[in-house]
Amino acid sequence: MEHFPIVTSLVRVALGGDSKRLNHQIQRLINALLADGDDQQAAALVKLINHKSRSSEIAPSRLTQSAPVASPNLDSLTPQTPVPVDKDSAAPLATVLMPDHILADLPLFPPRVQANVDALLMEWMNGDRIRAAGLSPSPSLLVYGAPGTGKTTLALWLARQLGRPVVLARLDGLISSFLGTTARNVGALFSFTNRYDCVLVLDEFDAIAKVRDDPNEVGEIKRVVNALLQNLDARAGQGITIGLTNHESLLDPAIWRRFEVQLAIPLPVFEQRVEIAQRSLDGDLEQVRAEARLLSWIAMGLSGAELRTLTTKYRKRRLFLEHQSTPPAHTMLQLADSTSVHIDSDVLEALRGDEGPLVRRLAAESFTYSDLAYLFDTSTKTIQRRVLDTASED
């Protein structure tokens, strides 16, 4: 019998009554079966684990105050815990982050997204009440949206709120150049994670789809996707999993379904961009607000990350111009001209054109005369005259 050594260990720990080590050995067996392509046998074991963990979750004797989702009896992860490595390249399969070392601030999201984040956190923090009602807290969350919308930051922030370490794995890192070992890496990552009370964050989840596009690797990808599905299923009773992706449409529908909560993060709208920019600016409140508004106007269609980059660059440039009479709007135009981020072409054209039409357009888009006076370093009277003059020119 091929996996007899694992079965022997399994029986030994079962007789010893240590459920944590027992789970680990079962997980080993599941992954060994998956690596051999014995998907059905692996699925049968996953089903058994899930059934067992669900029934023990509901049992009143197992209710715990502090564990939001994870079952009891898990080890504590420390910075010294060795993480598994890719056997061929020796590269670590994940990074471990301790909650105290996570510096993520909650990104600014639209109210509907924020309400979902709050609800989920509430659920995870009150797992005991949910279990007492015969339910289980959502074990998994898929966060999707354009690059730079704050997905990774949100996942890390959630883990910090829960006071749990993060096992952060990038799926593109798991895909070994020796493709045969990818399914094994997926298995090793989950077996490791399931031993600890932690949040598993699977970043760049769509990486799997890129390999799927390779016609030479059909069999391999089937095995990798199966390994992921089985491991996600088996983890459902054991801890929180957060998947992150920029390309949700590339995800296998079967994987998509594995995540109980799916949260779309949109690009920030104007008012949110103003808030985001304001957080990164410094100085007189009125002036900061005017600067944040113009930066946000320029950053139409950009992500929170791109806007923050733009704002930081703006601050740096202004540091050396403080005692000169360069108007803030001119510094912003300079930046818009020299930035790699994608400024909307209509906005860029307006910025590069004559100042009169630009001032008039901004006034029509709810910039006040005093905002514009500060931004163009002139008086409100001059702004008023320019707006009226330009209007009469039309």
Give me the residues that bind Mg ion (CB under 5 A), please. Answer: 152
Of the two residues 71 and 152, which places its CB atom closer to Mg ion in the complex? 152
> Which of ligand ATP, Mg ion, none is residue 276 near (CB under 5 to 8 Å by kind)?
ligand ATP
> Which of Mg ion, ligand ATP, none is residue 149 near (CB under 5 to 8 Å by kind)?
ligand ATP
Of the two residues 109 and 124, which places its CB atom closer to ligand ATP in the complex? 109
CB of 152 to Mg ion, least distance (A): 3
CB of 117 to ligand ATP, least distance (A): 12
> Which of Mg ion, ligand ATP, none is residue 147 near (CB under 5 to 8 Å by kind)?
ligand ATP
Q: Which residue number has the CB closest to ligand ATP? A: 304
Of the two residues 130 and 302, which places its CB atom closer to ligand ATP in the complex? 302
CB of 202 to ligand ATP, least distance (A): 12
Task: Give the integer Cα–Cα distance in Å for 255 and 226.
Answer: 9
CB of 93 to ligand ATP, least distance (A): 19
Q: What residue ranges bind ligand ATP (CB under 6 A)?
A: 107-109, 147-153, 246, 268, 276, 304-305, 308
Of the two residues 56 and 262, which places its CB atom closer to Mg ion in the complex? 262
Of the two residues 152 and 194, which places its CB atom closer to Mg ion in the complex? 152
* Cα maximum dimension of the chain: 91
> Which of ligand ATP, Mg ion, none is residue 137 near (CB under 5 to 8 Å by kind)?
none
